[in-house]
């Protein structure tokens, strides 16, 4: 059985370094000494250096929630992939649905980051030594299956220019937008993820060759919780999870890790 990946995306939480430390310590205490899964915590960037010093016994990896595509320069407010690497991050979430379609826009949608911008970030992150966690997902599922073309376009454009030897380092996180957030239409089921996972692997194989993508991990990121974890592991055959809200609850996140370990 392959090693599972469990990513906790804290988003813009918690409010203070002390709260971040307490949450981080609670998660570390819950992780078994001989951990089989790869647990990655992605806090706000301002906490990365601080939490690195608290990561006793290096039980988890740290990741960032975004990275800019230039190394340095006159880019007010941006943080480069190199800076993130130096401060302790080894992974980075790119193309998350909340950045592709900003929540501040009307009805939770709008023009955010394009595939072109995300592509620049993917290549910059790889160059800096970070492992990109590339998020893809459709807003709705139509009867004519046009959503498959939408996902294919996301993958092809976001990975344009990436060399074959690097594609196995990239983690693909499938997050169906219609199944997450306050505007969720319904919950996704494991069968839907399995079908999409197979499709994503085919798109990657057509682009890079089957051998180049053998080790590429595809994980699920649509409202993950302890109740659906086992089903997505067994029926959906996922390589892991991108956990949002429940990564801020040590008890629930611990339960997700426990299920993956079992």
Q: Which residues are catalytic?
A: 96, 175
* Alpha carbon distance 156, 209 (integer Å): 13
Closest to 66 (Cα-Cα) out of 86, 94, 40, 85:
94
The torsion of the CA quartet 77, 103, 187, 6, rounded to 10 degrees, works out to: 10
With b for 16 or more beta-carbon neighbours within 10 A and e for fewer, the 9-31 pattern comes to bbbeebeeeeebbebbeebbebb
Q: Is the dihedral of CA 207, 158, 219, 111 positive or negative?
A: negative
Q: Is the CB of residue 259 less than 8 Å from the CB of residue 5?
A: no
* Alpha carbon distance 157, 124 (integer Å): 15
CB-count exposure of residue 231 (10 Å: 0-12, 13-18, 19+): middle
């Amino acid at each position: 059985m392959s090693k599972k990946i469990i990513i906790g995306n804290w988003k813009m939480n918690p409010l203070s370094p002390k709260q971040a430390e307490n949450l981080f310590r609670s998660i570390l205490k819950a992780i078994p000494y001989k951990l089989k899964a790869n647990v990655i915590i992605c806090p706000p960037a301002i906490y990365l250096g601080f939490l690195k010093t608290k990561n006793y016994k290096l039980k988890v990896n740290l990741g960032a929630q975004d990275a800019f595509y230039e190394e340095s320069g006159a880019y007010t407010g941006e943080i480069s992939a190199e800076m993130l690497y130096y401060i302790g991050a080894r992974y980075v979430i790119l193309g998350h649905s909340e950045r592709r379609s900003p929540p501040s826009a009307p009805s939770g949608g709008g023009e955010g980051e394009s595939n072109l911008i995300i592509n620049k970030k993917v290549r910059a992150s790889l160059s800096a030594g970070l492992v990109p966690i590339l998020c893809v997902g459709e807003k709705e599922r139509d009867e004519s299956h046009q959503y498959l073309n939408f996902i294919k376009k996301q993958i092809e454009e976001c990975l344009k220019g990436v060399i074959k030897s690097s594609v196995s380092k990239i983690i693909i996180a499938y997050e169906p937008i219609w199944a997450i957030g306050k505007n969720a239409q319904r919950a996704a089921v494991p069968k839907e993820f399995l079908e999409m996972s197979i499709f994503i692997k085919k798109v990657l194989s057509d682009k890079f060759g089957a051998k180049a993508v053998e080790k590429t991990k595809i994980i699920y990121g649509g409202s993950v919780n302890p109740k659906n974890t086992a089903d997505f592991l067994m029926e959906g055959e996922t390589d892991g999870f991108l956990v949002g809200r429940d990564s801020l609850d040590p008890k629930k996140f611990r339960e997700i890790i426990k299920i993956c370990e079992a």
